[in-house]
A = this chain, B = another copy of it.
Amino acid sequence: MILAKFGGSSVANSHQFKKVKNIVNSDANKKYVVVSAPGKDEQHAFKITELLIKLYHARPNSINFKNLHAEIMQRFYNIIDELNLDKSLKLLVTNTFSNVKKLSYAKLVSRGEYLNAQIMANYLGWHFVDTNDFLIIENGQINYVASQLRLANIMHNDDKIVFPGFYGVNFNGEIQLLPRGGGDTSGAAISNLLGVDKYENWTDIDGIQVVDPHIIKNSVKIDSLSYDELQELSYMGLSVFQEDSINPLKNKNIPLVIRNTNHPHRLGTTISNQNSSSDITGVIGDQEYSLISIKKYGLAKETNNMIAILNVLNQFNLEIKCMVSEFDSINLFVKNIEKIGQLEAFLVKNNISAKVQSNIALVAVISQKVLANNKLQRRIIDILEKHHINSFMFNQSSNDIKFLFGIYAKDYQRAIKIIYQSLFEKNLVTQAL
C-alpha cells in the first residue's frame, strides 16, 4: 500500500488534478491520498491558505473582505466546473464559507485542505475521510496512540481514501493546525498510522539535489539517501521536506519518495534506512547566522557556569544551531536575530563578556565518507584554502556524517560552488575519497 501526498502546486488547478488522477490510477497500490490546499500557479500569485489567512484578518464586509471571499470560492468553483464534477460540491464550497466570521482561525485556514480533499475524492471516486475525525493534536504534537484508536474505528480495509492535510483535532473537538510544513507532517503521520509500505511526496521538483538550485541550477540529483542524511540536510536548511515529518516514517521504516507531479516518470529521490547512493549527499548551508562568542574565565570548571549563561540566553528564544564550548569560551551560532544590539546590551548587563558577529555562514558537507577517514575533510579544507576562503570554525563530531565549517557570508555562494565543482564536476570524486 502506498500513500501519496500532493503538495499545493500539485493540486493548484484542474489541470494539476488531472495529473494527480493519472498518477494515482497508474498504480493499484496507491490506496491513500493526502492533499494540500490549492497552491500558486501561473494564474494565481497566492496560495489559498494565504488568502484564507488574509480573509480571517480582513474587516468583515469591507471591500477587501468581499473580494477575498469571492476569489477563494471562485478558485474552487473553477476546479469543480473544469473537471465537470457534481454541482453539490459547489454548494459545499458555498456553505463552507457562508458564515466565515463564526469560524475559528484554525477552522477557517484549514478549509482549503478540507475542500480540496472533498473535491479530489469526488474526482477520483474515492472516499473522503476527515482528519478532523481521528488525527489528535494536542499542543501542536500528534498523539499517535489516540489517533490510532480513532482511525481503527473509521477504516475499512478496502477503502481508497483521500485525506486533507495540515489539520487535526484536539480532545475538545476543536480543529488544530499543524505547525510549519503541516502537509508533509499529515502525510507522514497518516502513513505511520496506516503502516503503509511507501510514502510518496509529490511536489514540483525532481528530487533532492546536492546543492541548492538557487546557487547551482542543475547540480547532481541524489537518487537515494537515508533518513538521517535527510535530517541533517533539513537541519542545515533544506526545505524540500519538513524536518519533523521524518521521524514518523523512520520509526516505522516507511520509505519516503520525493517525486515531481509534472514529470511523473522521473524516479525522484528515495529516503529510507539505506545510505546515500552518492558519496556526497549534500553541500548545504545558510548565510544568515550570527556568531555569539562568550568568554568566561574558568567556564569549564563547573557545569553551573554554563547553565547560568544558557539561562540568560534562554530569555532571547534563540535557536542555537551549533554550540562549541571549551575551557573559557562558548561559541554559539544562531540564526540572525533582529535585536542584536539588545542582546549585546543584555549580556553586558548580566556580566557576560560577549562579542556578536553577524553575516556568518555555516556550511555542511554531508557524506557517510566523513565517518570513514579524514580524506574528505582534508580535501575541503584544501579547496577553501586554495580559493582564499578563510574558515574560522570547523567541526566534526564523532558518529557524525556532517563536516561543518563557518565562513563569512560574503564567501558563502562561492564556497558552495567551488566545493561542488571540485568534488563533482572534475570527476575527481573517487580520487578524492
- Tell me the A residues contacting B by CB distance below 8 Å: 231-232, 235, 244, 247, 291, 293, 297-298, 300-301, 303-304, 306-307, 310-311, 313-314, 317-329, 331, 357, 371, 373-375, 377-378, 381-382, 384-385, 390-400, 402, 404, 406
- A311-B307, A313-B303, A321-B300 are contacts. A373–B394 as well, Cβ < 8 Å? no
Whether the Cβ atoms of A310 and B314 lie closer than 8 Å is: no
Nearest B residue to A307 via CB reads B310
- A385-B374, A396-B393, A399-B293 are contacts. A326–B318 as well, Cβ < 8 Å? no
Using Cβ atoms and an 8 Å threshold, which residues of chain B touch A307? 307, 310-311, 314
Whether the Cβ atoms of A396 and B399 lie closer than 8 Å is: no
Contact of A331 among B326, B394, B397 (CB under 8 A): B397
Whether the Cβ atoms of A303 and B325 lie closer than 8 Å is: no
Using Cβ atoms and an 8 Å threshold, which residues of chain B touch A320? 300, 303, 306, 325
Whether the Cβ atoms of B391 and A374 lie closer than 8 Å is: yes
The 29 sampled A-B contact pairs (Cβ below 8 Å) are A231-B328, A232-B327, A235-B327, A235-B328, A244-B298, A301-B319, A303-B310, A303-B314, A303-B318, A303-B320, A306-B320, A307-B310, A321-B327, A322-B325, A323-B323, A323-B324, A326-B397, A326-B404, A329-B400, A357-B398, A374-B381, A374-B390, A375-B385, A377-B394, A378-B378, A378-B382, A392-B397, A392-B399, A393-B396
Q: How far is the CA of A303 from the CA of B307 in the complex (A)?
A: 10
Using Cβ atoms and an 8 Å threshold, which residues of chain B touch A375? 385
Whether the Cβ atoms of B381 and A293 lie closer than 8 Å is: no
Given contacts A303-B314, A303-B317, 16 further A-B contacts (CB under 8 A): A303-B313, A307-B307, A310-B310, A322-B326, A324-B397, A326-B397, A326-B400, A326-B402, A326-B404, A373-B385, A378-B382, A392-B397, A392-B398, A392-B399, A393-B396, A395-B395
- A314-B303, A382-B378 are contacts. A293–B324 as well, Cβ < 8 Å? no
Using Cβ atoms and an 8 Å threshold, which residues of chain B touch A247? 297
- A235-B327, A319-B301 are contacts. A384–B374 as well, Cβ < 8 Å? yes
Q: How far is the CA of A304 from the CA of B396 in the complex (A)?
A: 24
Nearest B residue to A377 via CB reads B381
Using Cβ atoms and an 8 Å threshold, which residues of chain B touch A371? 392
Q: How far is the CA of A329 from the CA of B321 in the complex (A)?
A: 11
Contact of A385 among B325, B378, B398 (CB under 8 A): B378
Using Cβ atoms and an 8 Å threshold, which residues of chain B touch A317? 303
